[in-house]
Structure 1
Amino acid sequence: MPSRAAASSKASSISPSDRPRKGYVVVGPRRAMSLEPGMTAPDFHLPNANANHGPSAMNLDAARGEHGTIVVFECNHCPYVVASVGRLNAMADHAASIGVGFVGINSNDPVVYENDSWENMVKRTEGDMPYPYLHDAEQTVAKAWGAERTPEVYLLDTDNVVVYRGRMDDSPKDPGQVTVEDLRVALDAMLSGDAPAVDRTQSIGCSVKWKA
């Protein structure tokens, strides 16, 4: 695993480019399963690119908060993620304030999308990213969880059971067009001891970029 020090230049934003490197083809998903509401999330152990938040490597227990966990499959290059960065950061801050853990996981193949390399993950965290950013280099976690797109969120209770899966809101590319904040609604329900009225939505974003 490359050192965090490998990134020498500061970067507080991420590139909106969503073009694969020339000569490479983006292939379809190779999921081992689909993790749905009511199922228990499998554990992981992944390196953390964010030296300012969390240990250098984390498992699910380390990510878990007193009242649950939010796991977001995301990346650096996807325009849907780029446009959601402010909302992701705000949700991470809100989660921390109410005892809910929050982590991002990047599972994209950096051979196809160089912006999603470990070095570029580290560069992104040198901005104001307020949560751990984990690297699923072998894509085993994305496959085990059935992740399909970026951004895609999973809300877990204190037993790591999925309470909600899907989109954060209904307009990841344009915050001004949001009409429903699905994740926040599900989170509020969980913290009130209720099941969310909607526990599954289709995520809106870029496909996970699988290894060839």
Structure 2
Amino acid sequence: MKLHRMIAIVLAASAVAASAGLGIGDKMVDADVKMKSTDDSMLTLKDVAGEKGTLVIFTCNKCPFVDAWQETMVKLGNTYSEKGVGVVFVNSNDPSVKGDTLENMKEMAKKEGYQFPYVQDSTSNVARNFGAAKTPDVFLFDAADKLVYQGAVGEGGRTVGDEIWLKDALEALVAGKKIEKSQTKAVGCGIKFR
């Protein structure tokens, strides 16, 4: 009897873990959570939302996968923030992880030319509630705050491939078209949750 009960508990826990996080069509969560930005302001996801939608990328300062995709992510962020998409990079790593303090984030944003907010998820709960697990992990929402793309920036892991799925998704979103590939698998470093 005890074995059956333990199996039931394990299966229930697995089901909860599998259902955690956002799925395509789900509404944005934690839109009102205040996070400190690299310009020292306190921002919410609602504050950065754009008229066409909102791009949230969970990233960090020290990850070879982020390093590989940094130029592409920044270029897309800067380009589409001019086309009506609100853009924000979120660092959910524990700041005790070398290189992920707010000061390091400020240096990164300046060095890489971010023209959008880079915020610190001080509890890692925004990442948990989104279901973000890797850096980078991409979440693109439409104007109604519904998730329309989730996953990787593009093809490849530590090297940039030919297909930039996020660019395709952003192009479709801005044009008011259906996103053909709405979900891919995020590949990167595990978030160092607090």
> How far apart are residue 31 of structure 1 and its match?
9.4
Does the CA contact (< 8 Å) of 1:34 and 1:146 recur in 2? yes
The answer on 1:130 being equivalent to 2:119 is no
Does the CA contact (< 8 Å) of 1:81 and 1:172 recur in 2? no
**1:166 aligned residue (136, 145, 151):** 151
Distance verdict in 2 for CA 1:203–1:45, change over 3 Å: same
Question: 2:95, 2:36 → 1: CA distance?
Answer: 16
User: In the TM superposition, what whole-angstrom CA distance separates every residue of 1:160-192 from its partner, at most 9, and x where no partner exists?
Assistant: 1100000011124223xx121111111222223
Kindly report which structure 2 residues correspond to 1:13-162, keeping only aligned pairs within 5 A, or say none: 33-42=20-29, 43=31, 44-49=33-38, 51=39, 56-111=41-96, 113-127=97-111, 128-162=113-147
**1:207 aligned residue (173, 184, 190):** 190
Q: Compare 76-85 and 125-134 and name the one that shifted more.
A: 125-134
Does the CA contact (< 8 Å) of 1:69 and 1:101 recur in 2? yes
TM-score by length of 1: 0.77
Question: 2:119, 2:157 → 1: CA distance?
Answer: 21
Structure 1 spans left out of the alignment, 5+ residues: 1-29
Q: Which residue of 1 aligns with 2:176?
A: 193
Does the CA contact (< 8 Å) of 2:80 and 2:170 recur in 1? no
2:80 alignment partner AA:
A
Q: Give the CA RMSD over aligned residues.
A: 1.8
Question: 1:134, 1:32 → 2: CA distance?
Answer: 26
Structure 1 stretches of 4+ with a deviation exceeding 6 A read none
Does the CA contact (< 8 Å) of 2:89 and 2:117 recur in 1? yes
More helix by share: 2
Secondary structure of 2:99's aligned partner? helix
TM-score by length of 2: 0.84
2:177 alignment partner AA:
D
Which is greater in Rg?
2
User: In the TM superposition, what whole-angstrom CA distance separates every residue of 1:72-122 from its partner, at most 9, and x where no partner exists?
Assistant: 0000011111121111110012112211111000001122x2211122112
Tell me how many residue pairs correspond in the alignment.
Answer: 175
Identity %: 30
Secondary structure of 2:150's aligned partner? strand
